[in-house]
Structure 1
């Protein structure tokens, strides 16, 4: 497993990024208070994990341990991060929500800023998110066997 710990200057870890070889996906686990600068730095580091495979289509982004307000990120993610992630081959993002933030998803669910780049699904727990990514892998495998690829452009909550 390839991994990287992203820390504050005092050594406190706020993001752990790892490539899970058995699952063939990136796992980003965010913890504590994450500022805008922290979030941007950690998200950028996730795409630069040393020795990543040539293409990484699956990301499990876990915010279940984040405390306080999550950094205001949609604009930066859309303009800067998403094009870089797309170059890495990202096609599916399973995003585990910070506790008690389900009601804040209205905007993203009405207008997916990542449409056409990758499929984005929201979850309230890690197990459901991992299960969805495994199902995406299974469907990709079937479709690749048949010579088709699956379109990506949805955002929804599960």
Structure 2
């Protein structure tokens, strides 16, 4: 299951999909984001989460430009309760390059608090490693 979202210029701003090989939902955000795009993209991601009940999410902002802090109120008050209800427990966030992307991620992290476990990473590899560690720690004992 996957969705691709494009802006009015036909440019992809989000590819979101369930990755069964890694057992996580992967979000690849790109370019500049409008509030409308964030809401639309998050609806697709939430739909995947509701269908899979996958507790692990990898949010990749390495190709994102600028700030998305303008969406953090909506994310914290509207989206976060919905993703928790749908089963999200571990959220690995790869920050966008530059100070604005990092500041947006840190602001969201403060708002999320202990609602679910969120970690911010500089590289995709670090985020993937952490999610794999969380999966390993949460495997039932045999």
Does TM, normalized by the shorter one, top 0.5?
A: yes
Deviation at 1:69, TM superposition (A): 2.5
C-alpha distance in 1, partners of 2:33/2:86? Answer: 24
C-alpha distance in 2, partners of 1:88/1:119? Answer: 15
Q: Name the residue aligned to 1:118.
A: 116
The DSSP-based 3-state class of the residue aligned with 1:65 is: strand
The CA RMSD over aligned residues, in Å, is 2.4
Change over 3 Å in CA distance of 1:120–1:106 after alignment to 2: closer
Deviation at 1:37, TM superposition (A): 1.5
C-alpha distance in 1, partners of 2:14/2:31? Answer: 9
Deviation at 1:50, TM superposition (A): 8.7
The DSSP-based 3-state class of the residue aligned with 2:22 is: coil
5+ long unaligned stretches in structure 2: none
C-alpha distance in 1, partners of 2:21/2:29? Answer: 21
C-alpha distance in 1, partners of 2:6/2:49? Answer: 17
Q: Name the residue aligned to 1:48.
A: 47
Deviation at 1:107, TM superposition (A): 5.6
Q: Name the residue aligned to 2:94.
A: 96
State how many pairs are aligned. Answer: 141
C-alpha distance in 2, partners of 1:108/1:133? Answer: 21
Contact 2:93 2:127 in 1 (8 A): yes
TM (normalized to structure 1)?
Answer: 0.79
Deviation at 1:51, TM superposition (A): 8.3
Q: Name the residue aligned to 1:76.
A: 74
C-alpha distance in 2, partners of 1:106/1:52? Answer: 26
The DSSP-based 3-state class of the residue aligned with 1:64 is: strand
5+ long unaligned stretches in structure 1: 147-158
The DSSP-based 3-state class of the residue aligned with 2:48 is: coil
C-alpha distance in 2, partners of 1:46/1:80? Answer: 14
Change over 3 Å in CA distance of 1:62–1:106 after alignment to 2: closer
Contact 2:91 2:117 in 1 (8 A): yes
C-alpha distance in 2, partners of 1:48/1:30? Answer: 17
Structure ID, larger Rg: 1
